[in-house]
Amino acid sequence: MGRLRRLLPLRRPRLVSLRTTFAVSFAAVTAAVTVLVGILSYSAAAGLVRVDQQSVFDEVVEDVRGEVRAHRMAPEDFFSSAPGHDVVRPARTNVQVLGPDGEVSDGGLPALPVTGTDREIAGAVAAGRLAESKDVDVGSDVFRVATVSLGGGRGAVQVAQEFSGTEDLLRSLQQRTLVTMAAVVLLAGLFGWWLARRITRRLVVLTDAAEDVARTRRLGVEVPVTGYDEVGRLGRAFDRMLGRLAQSEEDQRRLVQDAGHELRTPLTSLRTNISLLRRIDELPPETREELVADLGQEARELTDLVNELVDLAAGQSDSEPPQTVDLADVAEDVAGLARRRTGRRIVLRASGDTTVHGRPGLLQRAVSNLVENAAKFDRDGTAPIEITVAGPAVPGPVRVEVLDRGPGVADGDLLRVFDRFYRAADARSLPGSGLGLSIVREVALAHGGAPFAAQRDGGGSVIGFTVAGVTPRVGG
């Protein structure tokens, strides 16, 4: 069963677009708020209407009780046809008069039911006794009925108020509220969809561009995202990232092409000399020695070239953590190593604050390449090779220079000596690959500086680089 599950294709989860999620979320929040506001509004309105109607009814009943207590009144005084008397009759209020025995003396419109309690109130001695009944069905309507005694067993007055009409009104209000809420939710959903389309339109463009890059592996894709909000910033960052990746891919391609071109010559020469080794017994002794010397020289040059290619690739992706470094100490270590290797006199001059924040291994490799380059081009010189490390008087970059008395650099080559595999015409006969100064440039740029080359007064060259210095802390 487990094997069958592994063989079956994985079911791809169904994707839900951000636009749909945003629109549904917006509609859901709006619906919740609308329903809550609608329920609260209806409850408040219904409560106010019921309380107001109850208050009116209570006031009418209290007016009748006050009147019968203040005056000795007979049932005829409350007849609707009695002159000179007017009971306050608000809208939907019905009055019915009962005689001493509880019989109906003056019927209401419609006639109200008379219960045993109502007859008891009609025969009561005390005036103003009250019996109240709620939710009394009269025909198709619902009333609230209050029976008030006239006193002395003379009868009673029934005051009723219709509540079914109010409930009908409230039900109508409830239906209208529901319809309004549904319309609001529908409009909120449509507005949320429109708003989601407007917000996610640039995200959709950005997603299409990313998917196009993943599908075609082409990094030169235009990202038409505008604006200065988070989406615009994301689009511009993505565009810059694609540019960096495209440049990195181009640098790698160019490095491979240049390396292949440079490796082709020594490898061809090696193959030629190796083919001669098959006839080494037929060669004279002098030729044998030259062949062996050539093989050794070509192997060394090939080794140097491979090492420099590795150094250059490592310099582009060095994982060494940055730390605080004193460039004067780095130059001192390089000078000591160069003295032992070349036997040349190396002079170091340091001034100012030479502290920088960077990768010690890369900085040492850059200074070492400068010294080796000076020793190579000034092989037979007697003047010392000078290393100058100068810290700034004010916050700024630290400057490293290596000075020699060699043939110097021609004006036309000053801007190209840091290119990969570039070698001046008068330097092609010398050993080397043309990668040493290219590594210096990579290290300088990685540390916020730049390489430079110039002719030295009196002959020779001045080649070096700058590194961003450490900013001093204020008040520390």
Residue 390 has pLDDT above 70, yes or no: yes
Q: Is residue 213 part of a domain?
A: no
* pLDDT at residue number 399: 93
**Do residues 188 and 243 both lie within one domain?**
no
Average pLDDT on 322-350 reads 89
- Does 163 share its domain with 263? no
State whether 312 and 356 are in the same domain. no
pLDDT band at 195 (very low <50, low <70, confident <90, very high): confident
**Residue 4, domain member (yes or no):** no
Q: Is 1 part of a structural domain of the chain? A: no
409 inside domain: yes
Question: Which has more pLDDT, 146 or 393?
Answer: 146
Condensed to tens digits (0 to 9), the pLDDT of residues 237-247 reads: 878 888 778 87
Task: Name the band, by pLDDT with cuts 50, 70 and 90, for residue 4.
Answer: very low
Query: How much is the pLDDT for 423?
Result: 57
CATH number of domain containing 343 = 3.30.565.10
In this prediction, residue 197 carries a pLDDT of 80
Cβ count within 10 A of residue 440: 27
Where residue 249 falls among pLDDT bands split at 50, 70, 90? confident
Residue 14 has pLDDT above 60, yes or no: no
Tell me which of 402 and 245 has the higher pLDDT: 402
Flag whether pLDDT at 476 surpasses 50: no
Q: What are 22-29's contacts with CB under 8 Å, separation 24+?
A: 22/192, 22/195, 22/196, 22/199, 22/200, 23/189, 23/192, 23/193, 23/195, 23/196, 24/189, 24/192, 25/192, 26/188, 26/189, 26/191, 26/192, 26/195, 26/196, 27/185, 27/188, 27/189, 27/192
**Same domain, yes or no, for 280 and 164?**
no
Instruction: Say what the pLDDT of residue 114 is.
Output: 85
C-alpha span between 202 and 224 (Å, rounded): 8
Band of the pLDDT at 265, cuts 50, 70, 90?
low
Higher pLDDT, 148 or 205: 148
Residues 270 and 185 placed together within one structural domain of the fold = no
- For the residues 257-265, what does the mean pLDDT come to? 63
* Together in a domain, 329 and 400: yes
Which domain-ending residue is among 206, 229, 254?
206
Nearest to 376 by CA among 290, 308, 276, 274: 308
- The domain total for the chain is 3
pLDDT of 326 higher than 80 = yes
pLDDT for the residue 8: 46
Model pLDDT, residue 244: 79
Could you report the per-residue pLDDT of 412-466, keeping only the tens digit for each? 777 778 777 665 545 444 554 567 788 888 889 888 999 999 888 888 899 999 9
Residue 24 lies inside a defined structural domain of this protein: yes
Q: Are residues 68 and 200 in the same domain?
A: yes
The answer to the question of residue 60 being in a domain is yes
Residues of the domain holding 252: 219-317
11 in a structural domain = no
What is the pLDDT, as a whole number, of residue 327? 93
Would the pLDDT of 467 be above 90?
yes
* Pair 99, 137 in one domain: yes
Find tokens 């994707």 and name the residue: 15
What does the pLDDT average to over 187-198? Answer: 82
- 384/362 same-domain check: yes
Please write the tens of the pLDDT for every residue from 272-323. 777 777 777 777 888 778 777 777 777 776 776 677 667 656 655 556 788 9
Q: What digits encode the pLDDT tens for the residues 19-67?
A: 777 778 877 888 888 888 888 887 887 777 777 777 877 888 888 888 8
Q: What is the DSSP pairing of strand 385-390 with strand 346-351?
A: parallel
What is the predicted pLDDT for the residue at 389?
A: 94
What rounded mean pLDDT belongs to the chain? 77
Confirm whether 146 is domain-assigned.
Answer: yes
- Verify that 101 and 223 share a domain, yes or no: no
How much is the pLDDT for 162?
76
Residues 134 and 48 in one domain: yes
pTM for this predicted structure? 0.46
Q: Which of 247-261, 354-368, 390-404 has the lowest mean pLDDT?
A: 247-261
Q: State the pLDDT at residue 264.
A: 67
Residue 150 has pLDDT above 80, yes or no: yes
Give the residue from 183, 206, 229 where a domain finishes.
206
Tell me the CATH number at 296. Answer: 1.10.287.130
Task: State the number of CA atoms in the 13 A half-sphere of 192 facing the CB.
Answer: 20
The mean per-residue pLDDT over the stretch 64-84 comes to 76
- 279 and 399 part of one domain: no
pLDDT for residue 231? 75
Last residue of a domain, one of 286, 317, 348: 317
Greater model confidence, 2 or 50: 50
